[in-house]
């Protein structure tokens, strides 16, 4: 679904005032800065508002694998234990990054870890010692640089206020990657920088990041319209400048950049799998027990499994990057 600027809902007066103050005399800011304000401003940001964004209830905007709790948490725990190999999970703190307030993937799940901790977006990471560091859709919510290739050069997309509407503007930029005329590349630099920040902390153990992304080649040459999207009331939109602070903004991450950040900080070769394959490979015993328990196809746990594993649902929508150090 694509909305034209003229049909977009009005922008709140509070965000308009914030934009004018942040944009300065030129009245222009980069899309990355706009996305940062729209998602994470302390008072107006989408992820700072006290609302229930995740689920299938009225007023929610999207659902994730975590919606299938506690089945999802049980499978994540089993997979992490197996991936630790001969390392004792009882010596490891399970740390979930980017958790929603009051929610954890392991809430109500029996597990062997020393304890469970959560870090909400914006809180200090403070990772040390033996850890299992887990995230679910953390990296795709980091601000991205929007760029477009025109006449042999990349241009960065900025945002300008025109009356009381926000519009895109193009500014020449110096990026080294090759491009195709007219192709957009929504550069997930902040996601890779966050991965490097996490990896630079003085901890050892397992990192598991569930998200959606593509290789650098796919982002450069196979997604000509870019990957940045908006979500509002379970409707996907390309109108990224509409209702700032009231809709989710997201962008595919670059698995090559993520893996490079982990290797640079001493992790073994990261492995990337579809969520379906990840759970089948690393939580097979628990999956078998879940499938064997009961025969009612409408059992909530069976429905949750189908949602998590089926390729047309979440099984191949999400991928899992994991690595040990």
Q: Which domains does the chain have, with CATH numbers?
A: 1-50+145-184+224-246 (no CATH), 53-143+188-212+252-325 (3.40.50.12710)
Q: How confident is the model at residue 171 (pLDDT cuts 50, 70, 90)?
A: confident
pLDDT in tens, 118-144: 998 888 899 999 999 999 999 999 999
Q: How far apart are CA 154 and CA 43, in angstroms?
A: 34
For the chain, what's the residue count?
325
pLDDT at 3 over 50: no
Q: What is the predicted pLDDT for the residue at 5?
A: 45
Q: How confident is the model at residue 100 (pLDDT cuts 50, 70, 90)?
A: confident
Q: Specify the residue for token string 């109108």.
A: 239
State the DSSP H helix or E strand holding residue 161, giving kind and residue range, or none if neither. Answer: strand 153-162
State whether residue 156 is helix, strand or coil: strand
Which residue spans within 212-317 are E strands per DSSP?
213-214, 229-232, 235-237, 248-250, 253-254, 271-274
Q: How far apart are CA 301 and CA 292, in angstroms?
A: 11
Q: What is the predicted pLDDT for the residue at 4?
A: 41
Q: How confident is the model at residue 99 (pLDDT cuts 50, 70, 90)?
A: confident
Q: What is the predicted pLDDT for the residue at 32?
A: 96
pLDDT in tens, 65-87: 666 669 999 999 999 999 999 99
Write down the mean pLDDT value for the chain: 89
Do 238 and 157 meet the contact criterion of CB atoms below 8 Å apart?
Answer: no
Do 209 and 323 meet the contact criterion of CB atoms below 8 Å apart?
Answer: no
pLDDT at 301 over 90: no
Whether the pTM exceeds 0.75: the reply is: yes
State whether residue 14 is helix, strand or coil: helix
Q: List C-alpha distances in Å: 260 to 86, 191, 216, 305.
A: 26, 12, 12, 32
pLDDT at 15 over 60: yes
Do 2 and 239 meet the contact criterion of CB atoms below 8 Å apart?
Answer: yes
């Amino acid at each position: 679904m694509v909305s034209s600027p003229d049909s977009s809902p009005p922008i709140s007066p509070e965000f308009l005032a914030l934009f004018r103050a942040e944009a300065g005399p030129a009245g222009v800011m980069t899309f990355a800065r706009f996305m940062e304000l729209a998602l994470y401003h302390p008072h107006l940001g989408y992820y700072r508002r006290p609302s229930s964004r995740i689920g299938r209830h009225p007023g929610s905007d999207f659902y994730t694998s975590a919606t299938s709790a506690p089945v999802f948490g049980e499978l994540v725990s089993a997979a992490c234990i197996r991936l630790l190999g001969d390392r004792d999970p009882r010596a490891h703190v399970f740390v979930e990054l980017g958790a929603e307030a009051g929610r954890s993937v392991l809430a109500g799940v029996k597990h062997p870890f020393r304890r469970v901790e959560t870090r909400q977006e914006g809180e200090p990471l403070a990772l040390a010692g033996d850890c299992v560091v887990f995230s679910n859709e953390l990296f795709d919510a980091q601000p991205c640089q929007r760029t477009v290739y025109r006449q042999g050069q990349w241009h960065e997309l900025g945002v300008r206020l025109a009356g009381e509407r926000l519009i895109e503007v193009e500014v020449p930029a110096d990026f080294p990657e090759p491009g195709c005329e007219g192709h957009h590349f929504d550069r997930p630099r902040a996601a890779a920088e966050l991965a490097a920040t996490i990896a630079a902390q003085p901890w050892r153990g397992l990192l598991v990041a569930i998200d959606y992304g593509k290789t650098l080649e796919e982002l450069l040459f196979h997604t000509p319209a870019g990957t940045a999207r908006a979500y509002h009331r379970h409707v996907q939109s390309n109108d990224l400048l509409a209702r700032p602070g009231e809709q989710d903004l997201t962008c595919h991450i670059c698995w090559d950049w993520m893996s490079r950040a982990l290797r640079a900080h001493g992790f073994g070769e990261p492995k990337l799998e579809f969520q379906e394959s990840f759970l089948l490979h690393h939580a097979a015993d628990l999956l078998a027990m879940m499938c064997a328990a009961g025969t009612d196809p409408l059992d909530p746990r069976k429905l949750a499994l189908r949602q998590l594993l089926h390729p047309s649902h979440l099984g191949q929508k999400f991928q899992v990057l994991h690595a040990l150090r």
